[in-house]
Structure 1
Amino acid sequence: MRIYDDKHIKNIVLLGSAKSGKTTLAETMLFEAGLINRRGTVEDKNTVSDYHEIEQERGNSVYATTLHTEWRDYKINIMDTPGSDDFIGEIISSLRVADTGVMLINAQYGVEVGTELIWDYMEQFQKPVIFGINQLDHPKSDFDATLDSLYEHFGKSVTPMQYPLNQGEGFNCIIDLLKMTMYKFPAEGGKPEKLPIPEDQMAHATKLHNELVERAAENDEALMELYFEKGTLDEDEMRKGIKIGMMNHELFPVFCLSAKNDMGSGRMMGFIDNVAPAAKEMLPEKTIEGKDIICQADGPTALFVFKTLIVPNMGKVSFFKVVSGEVKQGMELLDHQSGNSEHIHQLFIMDGKNRNPVEKLTAGDIGATLKLKSTETNHTLHVKDADIEIRPINFPDARLRTAIVAKSKSDHEKLGEVLHKIHQEDPTVEIDFSKELKQLIISCQGELHLATIKWQLDNIYHLDTEFVSPKIPYRETIQKAAATSYRHKKQSGGAGQFGEVFMKIEPYYEGMPEPTEFNVRGKEVIDLPWGGNLVYYNCIVGGVIDQRYLPAILKGVMEKMEEGPVTGSYVRDVRVMVHDGKMHSVDSNDISFKIAGSMAFKNAFIQADPKLLEPIYDMEIFVPEELMGDVMTDLQSRRSIITGMDSKGKYQIIRAKTPLAELDRYVTALRSMTQGRASFKSKFAEYSPVPHEIQKKLSENYTKEDELVHS
């Protein structure tokens, strides 16, 4: 297979809402270049891109698939991405290594919800964008309305390069405004006939051409002077100005397509070759310290791993971009994150599931290798005498949280291993076993994402599992002081158990004065792993309890704090004073004082007006203005406190503090009430008191469950 240099490699990512035609376009581009002999279809489940079983079942992309095509001495690496933002991890990782985004717009609907959501990430990455208005052959296609929706959402940087003639079922002609030519396609699509623009279209085409010339000229001072001097620009000059505008994220070319009928894709591929920037022309990648990494073949070899797949009977496939230098089969590279040496046994260019072996890849190219030992997504591989850590992809936080259990106890350990593999493939799937909740928690992007995980567990790993509601990590504390004592006495023949502890507990807050009612002999401040503090005072005088038993009392207190008396939740922000007690010269031991300390703490806690705290999350909801009322009403029903509102473009931003207990399946409810047009993000803010009636109900439920366990 031919090896391309860094000037002749173009990396594009196909983006757009579900059913916009990304997979069909990818198939057509491979066919146009002669890399496949016939075009598959999504309906026939035989496309190069959507080859995973779940994609063929659903009829939609779930994974980002890497492909390549070769067109007029250029190599175009193509990443075909899913249309749902439930799979945003696949979209973001592809965007990160692409140099140009091709955003497909369905000519029936114009800008859809998925387009809006993906655009936010396009702006973050500031990558050049090409819009492709697709499905112009559909009876309900409307190019002008679709173009207007692009202007409405993305402004006047949207710049038509073409417009269609005979759109709808008779679609077969495209007027090209850069070349001022009409392309007329045969009924079966493919190579068009180049014809003069019809007379009845010439005035309109000339007007749009002149606007294109102006847009190209205004991106460069030298071109602007040339434009004023000549009154126009030639085709090469226009290409230069368009490229500058694209790279500055100030010009978004628009092309016409019927990917299904193979009309317009070849012209767009030619534009990608001639105008879209190569990796070498893009802004340099950055190290974690902010240093530039120049994309050049003679630089130190550095690879960025942007995607991992676990393939049955093959193992781990690592997809990477060559950020600098060259990678050759047989090289030894260092995994910067793990410090381990990795041997590149094989190199591939991937076309879906097909592996095309190559001996080397150069800066700017995208490839894959097999069976790296410790290298994961977001890792950097580099030559051993370099010290390079490429800035990682920041994946979005999860929006849906659920617990999972294996129906068979024998599958419990295997479930953890399988979920780790799923996380390796998709870092937006977060796995955590909560010792506190005694649950295995999965966090992901939404219901569709969760359904995909369940499909994998059922069909690939053959694990019978179920999702259950996740528990809430409440906290318990107290509101007043209380004093109590507890005597533990047990006699069962021979040495018995005896320990008596007098204890006072109080609410703790930072900066509170030291106790004065007792003679303090020792103090220990413990930062609790779950937040808050325990302050433990030794106030024993006269040796009524031997010093060696005080750690056992503390251990008993800590054990009870790990399972609070009200709901079994962690206890925080309490100070404990052990000030009196009794011991026995024969029967006292550590276990006796541990039990006495635990029970004394429990009894005092119940008398100290216990208070349950719940986790509160800061939320930002992005919602179209006309839907704000519904979202606000729903938030108020979830015990939210609205903390502010703002606007961003066409969206309103609602800021609120909401209890975690009210956020179960919120992503699903929000999508339902806004037809998928709203999104949100959330992060933990604080613990706050639970309303009395909720605390009472939770406490009663815990008491009933505890009685059942011990009955």
Structure 2
Amino acid sequence: MKSYDDKHIKNIVLVGAPKSGKTTLSETMLFEAGIISKRGTIEEKNTVSDYHEIELERGNSVYATLLHTEWKDYKINIIDTPGLEDFIGEVIAAIRVADTAVVLLNAQYGVEVSTEILWEYIDRYRKPTILAVNQLDTELASFTKAVEDARRAFGNNVTLMQYPVNQGPGFNAIIDLLKMTMYRFPKDGGKPEKLPIPEEEREKAEQLHNELVEKAAENDDTLMELYFEKGSLDEDELREGIQKGMLQHQVFPVFCLSARNNMGSGRLMGFIDNVAPAAIDVPAEHTADGKEVAIDPAGPTGIFVFKTLVEPHIGRLSFFKVIAGEVKAGMELTNFANNTTERISQLFIADGKNRNTADRLRAGDIGCTLKLKNTRTNDTLGDKHFPGPIAALEFPSPKVRVAVEPQNKGDDEKLSEVLAEIHLEDPTLLVEFNRELKQVILHGQGELHLLVTKWRLENIYKMPVVFLPARIPYRETIQKPAQASYRHKKQSGGAGQFGEVYLAIEPWYDGMPPYKDHPVRDSEEITLSWGGKLVFNNCIVGGAIDSRFLPAILKGVMEKMQEGPLTGSYVRDIRVSVYDGKMHPVDSNEISFKIAGMMAFRDAFHQAAPQLLEPVYDLEATAPDTMMGDIMSELQSHRSIITGMDAANGNQVIKARIPQAEIDKLFAALRNVTQGKAKIKAEFADYAPVPADLQKKLSENYKETVAV
């Protein structure tokens, strides 16, 4: 494998909405460069990029896949990414390590909502960006609309490099505004014929060329002076200005494609070679403590692991970018996350499932290695002079959840090990062993994300599982004061048990007045780990209960608050005042008063207008105007309260409050009615009362469970 220096390595990531043509373009680029002799197709299930069994089964990308081409003395590393938001973690990691993002726009649909979601991460990392309008050979293609959408969503830095002459089913010609040439492609695509710009297109092309020159000149003072002096810029000066604009996130060049028919991909690859920034050109990386680390071939060796993949019969693959120096096979590096030493036994340049052995990889390059025992995604490995761990990738919070159980009840421990392995590979899938709900809960980015995880458990790890609804972490409280007493008496020969407790309970709220029905000797305010407060007042006078038994009463109350009387949920926001009781000189002990306190609290709770609380979330749904009616209808049918509406970038944003019990069903419903074009996010807000009919149903279900 030929070795490339840092100036001749270009790293690009292909991003875009589902069906925008990313995998087809990556296949075409490999074919154009001679890496493969025949182009595969998604329909024939033989592309280099989509090779995992689940991808072949579903017909779309699930994983970000590393590929490479060699084009005119440049190495281009390509990362083909999924288009579905469920697999956003794969896309974020790929954007982070790429030097240029190539955003594919489907000419039929322009900028879709999922494209705008991806743009948030491109913009956050300030990645140089190329826009490629693909599928210009389709019946409904509209290059003009796609560019208008892009300018609305991404701003006026969207800059035409090309435009199509005859979009639609007969598409075969592009006018290139940098070279001021028309490219006409043969019927089967490939190398185009270079022709003068037709007379009927000359005026339009010259106007757009002048706009390109002005855009290139405004990013550099020297170029601007040249432009004023000469009235134009030559081709090399244009390239320089465009590259500087891309690096400043001020120029987003637009290209024309039919990836399926291999039209335009060669020109795009030439632009990536000649203009798109190399790794050494882009802004420095940062360590976790904010220090800059430049891509430096002469620096101390350091690599950043951005992806972990566990493959059957192979083991753990770690994909990394070389930040500085060079990494060689056989080298030993320190993992800064856990201070362990890892040996890089083998180095590979990846093309999907095919891996070519490499002796070394230099700064700016991307590769992978096998079987790093103590290394996972987000880890940095380096020699002792490398300045420290690179700042970690940040992934979005999960949106949906489900409980998982092994079909074989004896496989609980094995399931835990497998889930830990899957989380290692996919950090956006969170695994929670919830003691409160007594469930193992998977938190994912969407319903499809969870279903793919289930497929992997059953087909890759041979672990049959059952998905169940995740329980809701309800809370219980009261709405009015109440009093109760309980006598615990037990005699079975020898020393017995005796304890009697009188207590009062009230709803607690911040700033409430002191308890006045009985004198308070001392008071303890306890912040509960599950939220809310318990205030415990000792109002005993005259020695009715010895003070040494008060902690036992508190313990009994706390135990009942951890398994509330209504549904077994945690209890919160109550003030308890123990004001009387009785004890026996021989038979009274701590266990007696613990039981008496617990049962008195239970009886008082049932008399205090118990209220079940449910977690509610603030939700935002962003989608085109035409979908607002369907979204509003779904929200209202899932017990949501609409709190507001706003406009943003040509879309409508609906804000609502929704119970957690409805979120998973709502996400699935909204994806269905909007064909996945709605952007949805939800954050925990507060606890709110459950409707009376639902509270009754949940309480009755709990009683039946306890009775069993």
Is the TM-score greater than 0.5? yes
For residues 96 and 103 of structure 1, what CA distance do their matches in structure 2 show? 14
> What is the correspondence of 1:284-299 to structure 2 with a 5 Å cutoff?
284-299=284-299
**Residue 526 of structure 1 aligns to a residue in which SS?**
strand
Partner Cα distance (2:646, 2:149) in 1: 24
The corresponding residue for 2:272 is 272
The answer (yes or no) to whether the contact 2:287–2:387 under 8 Å persists in 1 is no
Q: Is the 8 A contact 1:99 1:127 kept in 2?
A: yes
Tell whether the 8 Å contact from 1:128 to 1:247 is kept in structure 2 after alignment. Answer: yes
Residue 73 (structure 1) aligns with: 73
Write the distance in 2 (CA, Å) between the matches of 1:109 and 1:652: 18
Structure 2: which amino acid aligns with 1:563?
A: E
Q: Check if 1:110 corresponds to 2:110.
A: yes
Aligned counterpart, 1:496: 496
Q: Name the CA shift for 1:387/1:296 in 2 (closer, same or farther; >3 Å).
A: closer
- Deviation, structure 1 residue 648: 2.3
Deviation of residue 140 (structure 1)? 4.9
In 2, the alpha carbon distance for the partners of 1:488 and 1:482 equals 20
Partner AA of 2:275 in structure 1: V
**Judging changes above 3 Å, is the alpha-carbon distance between structure 1 residues 135 and 515 closer, same or farther for their aligned structure 2 residues?**
closer
Matches within 5 A, 1:44-443: 44-138=44-138, 140-443=140-443
Give CA deviations for 1:549-587 in whole Å, capped at 9, x if unaligned.
433332222211111011211011223233433334554
User: Which residue identity lines up with residue 611 of structure 2 in the other structure?
Assistant: K
Q: Which moved more, 1:265-274 or 1:425-434?
A: 425-434
Measured after TM superposition, the shift of residue 165 of structure 1 is 4.2
One-letter amino acid matched to 1:157: N
Q: Check the 8 A contact 2:82/2:91 in 1, yes or no.
A: yes
List per-residue Cα deviations over 1:78-108 (Å, max 9, x = no partner). 1000111121111111111111111122334
Q: Which amino acid aligns with 1:70?
A: E
Counterpart for residue 620 of structure 1: 620
Query: Do the aligned partners of residues 6 and 533 (structure 1) sit closer, same or farther apart at CA in structure 2, a change above 3 Å counting?
Result: same
Structure 1 residue 14 displacement after superposition: 0.5
Cross-structure match for 2:656: 656
Q: How does 1:470-481 map to 2 (within 5 A)?
A: 470-481=470-481
Q: 1:517 to 1:671 in 2, by over 3 A?
A: same
Q: Distance in 2 between matches of 1:422 and 1:96?
A: 21
Aligned to 1:333, the other structure's residue is in SS state strand
Change (3 A) 1:511 1:150: closer
Match of 2:454 in 1: 454
1-side partners of 2:362 and 2:42: how far apart? 33
**How many residue pairs get matched?**
708
Match for residue 42 of structure 1? 42
Distance 1:108 1:51 in 2: 27
Helix, strand or coil at the partner of 2:552: helix
**CA RMSD after TM alignment:** 2.5
1:596 is matched with which residue? 596
> Kindly, what percent of the aligned residue pairs are identical?
63
Q: Which amino acid aligns with 1:440?
A: V
Summarize the Cα distance change of 1:605–1:325 in structure 2 as closer, same or farther, 3 Å threshold.
same
Deviation at 1:60, TM superposition (A): 0.7
2:244 aligns to what SS in structure 1? helix
Matched AA of 2:35: L
Residues 538-557 of structure 1: pairs in structure 2 closer than 5 A: 538-541=538-541, 543-557=543-557
In structure 2, distance between residues paired with 1:80 and 1:8 = 20
Q: Could you say if the C-alpha distance between residues 538 and 285 of structure 1 is closer, same or farther in structure 2, counting changes exceeding 3 Å?
A: same
Q: Distance in 2 between matches of 1:490 and 1:260?
A: 83
Contact 1:397 1:681 in 2 (8 A): no
How far apart, in 2, do the equivalents of 1:593 and 1:15 lie? 65
> What is the alpha-carbon distance in structure 2 between the residues aligned to residue 390 and residue 8 of structure 1?
24
Deviation of 1:494 after TM superposition, in Å, equals 4.2
Gaps of 5+ in 1: none
Deviation at 1:167, TM superposition (A): 4.3
Question: Distance in 2 between the 1:628 and 1:664 partners?
Answer: 20
Shift of 1:447: 2.2
Q: Secondary structure of 1:413's partner? A: helix
Q: Secondary structure at the match of 1:451?
A: helix
TM-score, normalization by structure 1: 0.93
State the distance in 2 between where 1:687 and 1:600 align: 26
> What's the CA shift for 1:51?
0.7
What whole-Å deviation, never above 9, does each CA across 1:515-565 have from its counterpart, x for those lacking one? Answer: 455555554433211011223344445554455443333222221111101
Per the alignment, in what secondary structure is the counterpart of residue 665 of structure 1? Answer: helix
When residues 509 and 123 of structure 1 are mapped into structure 2, their CA distance, relative to the original with a 3 A threshold, is same
Could you tell me which amino acid in structure 1 is paired with residue 662 of structure 2? E
Give me the whole-angstrom Cα distance separating, in 2, the residues matched to 1:314 and 1:541.
73
AA aligned to 1:640 is S
Aligned-partner Cα distance in 1 for 2:382–2:603 = 61
* 2:89–2:427 Cα contact (<8 Å) kept: yes
Please name the residue that 1:678 is paired with.
678
Query: Which residue of 2 is the match for residue 7 of structure 1?
Result: 7
Judged with a 3 Å threshold, the aligned counterparts in structure 2 of structure 1 residues 631 and 171 are, in CA distance, closer, same or farther, namely: closer
Query: How many angstroms apart in 1 are the aligned matches of 2:382 and 2:488?
Result: 64
- Residue 117 (structure 1) shift: 3.0
Q: Is the contact between residue 113 and residue 623 of structure 2 (CA under 8 Å) also seen in structure 1?
A: no
Asked if 2 retains the 8 angstrom alpha-carbon contact of 1:430 and 1:443, the reply is: yes
How far apart, CA to CA, are the structure 2 residues paired with 1:290 and 1:666? 40
Deviation at 1:291, TM superposition (A): 2.6
Work out whether residues 152 and 650 of structure 2, in 8 Å CA contact, stay in contact via their aligned partners in 1: no
Contact 1:308 1:316 in 2 (8 A): yes
| Residues in 1 aligned to 2:108 and 2:226: alpha-carbon distance in whole angstroms | 40
Equivalent residue of 2:6, what SS? coil
Structure 1 distance, partners of 2:563, 2:525, is 20
User: How many angstroms does 1:316 deviate by?
Assistant: 1.7
3-state DSSP of counterpart to 1:281 = coil
Deviations 1:90-139 (A, max 9, x none): 11111111111111223344333433332233222321221222233445
Q: Name the residue aligned to 1:532.
A: 532
Q: How far is the alpha carbon of 1:333 from its aligned partner?
A: 2.7
* Unmatched tracts of structure 2, length 5 or more: none
Rounded to whole Å, the distance in 1 between the matches of 2:146 and 2:645 is: 31
The aligned residue for residue 507 of structure 2 is 507
- Matched residue of 1:214: which SS? helix
Shift of 1:238: 0.6
Mark the CA change 1:139 to 1:610 in structure 2 (over 3 Å): closer, same or farther: closer
User: Quick one: structure 1 residues 698 and 249, their matched pair in 2 at CA, closer, same or farther if it must change by over 3 Å?
Assistant: same
What do residues 655-679 of structure 1 show as CA deviations (whole Å, max 9, x unaligned)? 3332222323222222233333321
- SS state of the match for residue 7, structure 2? coil
Distance 1:345 1:542, change over 3 A: farther
Q: Which residue of 2 aligns with 1:24?
A: 24
Secondary structure of the structure 2 residue equivalent to 1:627? helix
Distance in 2 of aligned mates of 1:292 and 1:443: 34
Distance 1:512 1:489, change over 3 A: same
User: More deviation in 615-624 or 587-596?
Assistant: 587-596
**Partners of 1:691 and 1:201 in 2: CA distance:** 67
> Quick check: 50-59 or 537-546, which moved more?
537-546
Contact preservation (8 Å) 1:65, 1:81:
yes
Deviation at 1:282, TM superposition (A): 1.5
Task: Give the aligned residue type for 2:207.
Answer: K
Distance 1:387 1:535, change over 3 A: farther
Q: Distance in 2 between matches of 1:540 and 1:385?
A: 67
Partner of 1:605: 605
The superposition leaves residues 369-419 of structure 1 with CA deviations (integer Å, 9 ceiling, x where unpaired) of 222233222222233354523222221122222222223212333222222
SS in 2 for 1:580: strand
Question: Cα offset for 1:306?
Answer: 1.4
